[in-house]
Amino acid sequence: MAPGILDQNANTAYGDWRDEFYSKGYVVLKNVISREKALKYRKKTLDWLQSFDTDFDINDRSTWTAKNLPQSFKAGMYLNYCAAHEKYVWDARMYALNPIINTTSHKANLDHREPEIIDAFAKIWGTDELLVSFDTINVTLPGRTDVEWSPWPHVDQAPERRGLSCVQGIINLSEAGPKDGGLMLMEGSSKLFDRFFDLNPPDRTQGIGAKHYDFYPFKEHHVKWYEEQGCKLIKVCAEPGDLILWDSRSMHYAKFPESDEIRTIIYACYTPASHATPEDLKKKAELFHRWETTTHWPHCNIHGHGKAMVDGKVDPLERDEPLEKPVLTDRLLQLAGVKPY
């Protein structure tokens, strides 16, 4: 199956959430995991943040400063410290236990049940032989005064890569109402991706465009252009246990919390294993064995974030392995790209 093949699906009427996903460029799937389970993962995430040898205290806001926290991107995305490979993160990615039973025949559903998160991606791609990204967690602490925050509208797909090629996911573990931290997204922008970049060819010679292939930042007048075409910038609202999916061609960024809620999420994207080249699979397996975090892309654009550095030396808070390692089942190793299907 070639990347971009899903574009023909955009004109299909499925009679389920996929219709909304294709028309708006995103969808929120409710209660994909139970609220109780999501809050358990949330606690694991906060415990992880507290596991470093610093003065950080989750119950004392005066300690919520950069000097007490491991390094992160945009004040919450933990790209190092083996964060993407903690057991609870893998448990969430592999979610298979006690899915919400949503048919009238409990037994029949149990006999044929699929892991709910993986199943959503399998429905999109038409296969459950998937790879999962090693992207990470995001814990954004509200009310921080040592953080400068500004929107960074972008797409996570190279303008040169035409067609729907990656679907991004957030396993939402905290409340994400209108005032809480969360995903801001330009509804309808995925469909305008080709037109926008035909009019605005990407500059690959300088800035971030020269550094990162599957990323493109927008300027303020670009945001206006999308709005003039009828798109709407929205805050994607969700509750603990919901799964947010979006087309990587959708313009998006994150909102810093205006409320007291600690934004807590796990990023999880899946694409067909058949989309990966042998070289990328080799790279992915090497990064897995080093417990490294990568980009949102599961099958290509495989780049590790390496170790966090301080003054040219490895951050003393760094780790060689997760605090709690995942159980290396065959299914996990297949999703990690280590074991073939």
Binding stretches for Fe ion (CB under 5 A): 156
Handedness of CA 74, 78, 80, 81 (dihedral sign): positive
Tell me which residue has its CB nearest to Fe ion.
156
Cβ closer to Fe ion: 156 or 242?
156
Minimum CB distance to Fe ion smaller for 209 or for 285: 209
Rounded distance between C-alpha atoms, residue 70 and residue 196, angstroms: 38
- Identify which of residues 86 and 156 has a Cβ nearer to Fe ion in the complex: 156
CB of 156 to Fe ion, least distance (A): 4
Minimum distance of Fe ion from residue 195's CB (angstroms): 21
**Which tokens go with 22?**
């294709």
Q: How far apart, in whole angstroms, are the C-alpha atoms of residue 226 and residue 186?
A: 8
Q: How far is the CB of 202 from Fe ion (least distance, A)?
A: 16
Query: How far apart are CB 296 and Fe ion at their closest, in Å?
Result: 7
Least distance in Å: CB of 282 to Fe ion? 26
Rg (CA), the chain: 19
Cβ proximity to Fe ion: between 37 and 299 the closer is 299
Does residue 202 sit in helix, strand or coil? coil
Lookup: tokens for 74: 């945009």
Map residue 84 onto helix, strand or coil. helix
Is the Cβ of residue 172 or residue 334 nearer to Fe ion in the bound state? 172
* Closest distance of CB 11 from Fe ion, Å: 26
For residues 262 and 172, the answer to whether their CB atoms sit within 8 Å is: no
Give the count of beta carbons closer than 10 Å to the beta carbon of residue 329.
12
In the complex with Fe ion, the residue whose CB is nearer, 269 or 287, is 269
Distance (Å) of CA 261 to CA 44, 59, 143, 182 = 16, 13, 10, 10
- Encoded amino acid at 341, one letter: Y
